[in-house]
Amino acid sequence: MALIDTINNPDRYIDNYLEALDGSLNSNTFLLHINKEFNNHNLKEELNTFIKSEEFKQSMLKADIERNWFNYHNQDFDDAKEIKYTPYDFVFTTEFYKPDFHLNIQSIDYLGLKNSLTDLLLDKYIYHRWYSNEKMVNEIVDNFLSKLVSDNSDWTYFKIVPDFLITTEDLWEEDAESLCYFDGFQQDSFTIFLSNKSIYMLLTNGRA
């Protein structure tokens, strides 16, 4: 199993956790890294504006390629046999976010963050697949955090109710083509890692 083979490889710590989420939640997991300063005391308003921005949209499209999901892109080979990624037509005319959405943000401490990240892998009652080896899960999570937020004293953490982006359920009900990410089930999550210089956004989805 790749996760076990590479669990002690620091260059793989972030990818290991993202791939573990993919399997545990049946998820197309994204980790967005935005080099932009967000005001901790005005986070809700600034995130609201950012989610409506072209920068958020492009970050999601970039993650779609980086994580090899290609839910929003065609893959084409040119004459040099190089892959070109072309967004589907609906990417240019639609947005990820729901109209008039309101963010519900909960601040959590480092322990709460760690427990939340661990629960995403271990909760066998609602997820598609899970890891029963708690020791391995704890190591995956610890390694992920050691690489992502090596000095957690400069970071704050938040969980956001994942109801602000268009879901696959919304599209099926409308029989429409549009950008979407969440699935509308318990596998959806949105976690924020905020420093004074940048922000990470961890998104999960999936169907049981």
Q: What phi, psi does 196 have (nearest 5°)?
A: -80, 0
With a cut of 70, say whether residue 129 has pLDDT above it.
Answer: no
> What number is the average pLDDT over the span 192-196?
94
The strand pairing partners of 77, in sequence order, are 83
85-119 residue pLDDT tens: 899 999 999 999 999 999 999 999 999 999 999 99
In angstroms, the Cα distances linking 63 to 28, 31, 128, 142, 191 are 10, 7, 23, 23, 16
Helix axes 110-122, 134-148, angle to 10 degrees: 130
Residue 69 neighbours by CB distance under 10 Å: 15
Q: How confident is the model at residue 127 (pLDDT cuts 50, 70, 90)?
A: low
**Non-local CB neighbours of 168 within 8 Å, separated by 6+ positions:** 180, 182, 183, 184
Looking at residue 208, its pLDDT comes to: 63
pTM for the model stands at: 0.92
Average pLDDT of every residue of the chain: 89
Looking at residue 124, its pLDDT comes to: 65
Which comes out higher in pLDDT, residue 208 or 142? 142
Q: How confident is the model at residue 80 (pLDDT cuts 50, 70, 90)?
A: low
